[in-house]
Amino acid sequence: MSDAPDCTTDDFELPGVPDPFQRLWTPHRRAYVSGGQQDYTESSCPFCAAPRRTDEESLIVHRGRSVYVVLNLYPYNPGHVLICPYRHIAQYDETTDEEMVEIGECTRTVMGVLRESSHAAGFNIGMNQGKVGGAGIAAHLHQHVVPRWNGDTNFLPIVAGTKAVTQTLSEIRELLAEAWPADPPSGQVTADGAPEANPAARASQG
């Protein structure tokens, strides 16, 4: 018997060969990712504009001292949030120590919030750096936190190009905001994105 490899395999059968990867298919995001969204200046950047609006208008879940948490308008899964610095910076190594620490704190907190509010079973967490790294808005740093559940890669997005989301983004924002732990008294941020002074500190200065 010959040990030569079987050369009769039809190459078109190869995509059906099982492999160890699980794929979260999101065809609805293609127009956004490939639509030239990357070259925002600070004056036109949606991540700079969002904190100047109300939480409800911008779908902001939490405002911190140096970063804020906002729902993704084009989510991979319900509850997909972005953690963004207020400053218009593009790269992670441009963050200040405060921004770096608060990105980590918000990541930890939102994981707990998503587990509590929607029973998330796992997470995808990460940043796409630069156009070649796949960033949709490369000019403004943002970290993705995507909740995952068993069976969330079902047939709908693969066969029908449809992602089933049973709640509106506004409803999800309200759910997550209500579940977010209360800030300490010194950690308030106003709608224009500027931190508000600690009321106790103001009183002591008066």
Active-site residue list:
142
Residue 166's nearest CA partner among 118, 112, 116, 109 is 118
Phi, psi for 123 (deg, rounded to 5):
-145, 150
Q: In this structure, are residues 38 and 137 in contact, taking their beta carbons and an 8 Å threshold?
A: yes
- Region of 185 (left: φ > 0; alpha: ψ -120 to 50; beta: rest) is alpha
What six digits make up the tokens of 153? 């890669």
Q: Is 72 annotated as a binding residue?
A: yes
Q: In this structure, are residues 109 and 179 in contact, taking their beta carbons and an 8 Å threshold?
A: no
SS3 string, 14-62, reads HHHCCCCCCCCCCHHHHHHHCCCCCCCCCCCCHHHHHHHCCHHHHCEEE
C-alpha–C-alpha distance, residues 75 and 56, integer Å: 17
Q: Is 144 annotated as a binding residue?
A: yes
- Binding positions for substrate: 72, 144
